[in-house]
Structure 1
Amino acid sequence: MYKRQMPIMQRLKSYVGWISSLWLLLSVAPAQAIEGGRLARANDPLAAATVTIGSVVAGGESVSLNRCSGVLISPEYVLTAAHCVRGNALAAAVRFFSGSRPTGRPVRVAQVARYALQEDDVPREYAASLAELSLDTAILRLEAPVRGRRPIMVERRPDRVPSRLRLAGAGLSGGRGAGILRTTLLEPIAITRSGLTIARAIGSRVCVGDSGGPVVAEGRGVPRVWGVASAVMTREPPCGDTLVIAPANPAAW
């Protein structure tokens, strides 16, 4: 495992064009997220802490807009998947939800710290597919602490795999903007010694833009972040019902 700090190149407010693009990215009409599942409810602690993430990434002479999901784990920090902020991030912002719908203005990201996980003890039937995946997490430091939102604590000792997990995601369809927030139950089917989990979505499919979405265990009625959506294993991309979950690892942060 390695840790690499990746500060934003300059203060985000200097990127007027990029911030305008992010505002458009996070503000246009909502699109479908997780296929199936349930619409997020306003009184759901998971929904209240989940965000949609937009980032502007430079690659050579081109610039791309990436869209993912994430979760507030403290008033100032958001957890997501590292591939959501890969490359040279020029700017990034997050937006929260009220129930299933995006609400409020985007909150700018001040700094990105990325963490990559080494593949370890991968089940044989998944080895070929997992060799091509980036199994990682990232922490986004927001420009200012968020008020009025309760963060979700990270599961610090995942020594027992729950029989059920739950995913929240704000995926996209048709190339449109911030998605409708949905949740779905997951059934774990394999776990490695490093904590990497493979789970099957129950009655739903995970789609584009759900990457980085929080996967929580809800024992004793209090959700705890187990990991984040890293990749989908499917023969019919981009959606599928077999999810690879990168473990939340506070020891690395």
Structure 2
Amino acid sequence: MSDWFTPAEVTAIGLSLKVATVAALASLPFGVAIGWLLARRRFPGKALVDALVHLPLVLPPVVMGYVLLVMLGTRGPVGAWLHDSFGIVLAFRWTGAALACAVMGFPLMVRAIRLSIENVDRRLEQAASTLGAAPWRVFLTVTLPLAWPGLVAGAALAFAKALGEFGATITFVSAIPGETQTLSSAIYGLMQVPGGEAGIWRLALVSLLISLGALLLSEWLVRRHRGAEEAE
């Protein structure tokens, strides 16, 4: 790989994979919880919660990155508390990049999971409840396994979105080589350098292949799951 890419490009690729993976996996439990809440519960303010979840899709990514910087920077209300109480710093760190990517990909994840849960036959859940299963057991043994394709699709979409995120990450964590410079910010940096076209094409191709691979893998897993269900 070092024969095809510069050391800086290899670092950017590895960091992007780490950031995207952490962003997708860390946000998955929250995506499942919010997806289930929106799919199965009625409560005051549900429309507002739904709108807030989807807000990152319609706001400019730079705005979301600036909000994160103001709130979670070392001088922000939440960031200062995290730093003083636990020594946690998110701004200008790769963990902050993962957080920004998770925020931007969260709406796509929630939507996929919500639609999958809505498609689960509620009569199966009611039958399990009638047999004496507690609500949490119904969720873990009936709802979650049947909605599994939506979880896979949501995680894959969040991963792909995180891999290509630029505006929110560069605003919140900048593009520090070896620390926060992901594929997108590395490509942007090469655009400012004369003769950087070759590097741009290499990184763009890598980004395309990884994102396409993640989506194809999720589709294969979903089809395999459905095939196993039909065989039963």
Is the TM value for this pair above 0.5? no
Q: Looking at secondary structure, tell me which structure has more strand per residue.
A: 1
Choose between structure 1 and 2 for higher RCO, CA contacts under 8 A separated by at least 6 residues. 2
- Using the size of structure 2 for normalisation, the TM-score is 0.26
Whose radius of gyration is greater, 1 or 2? Answer: 2
Q: Looking at secondary structure, tell me which structure has more helix per residue.
A: 2
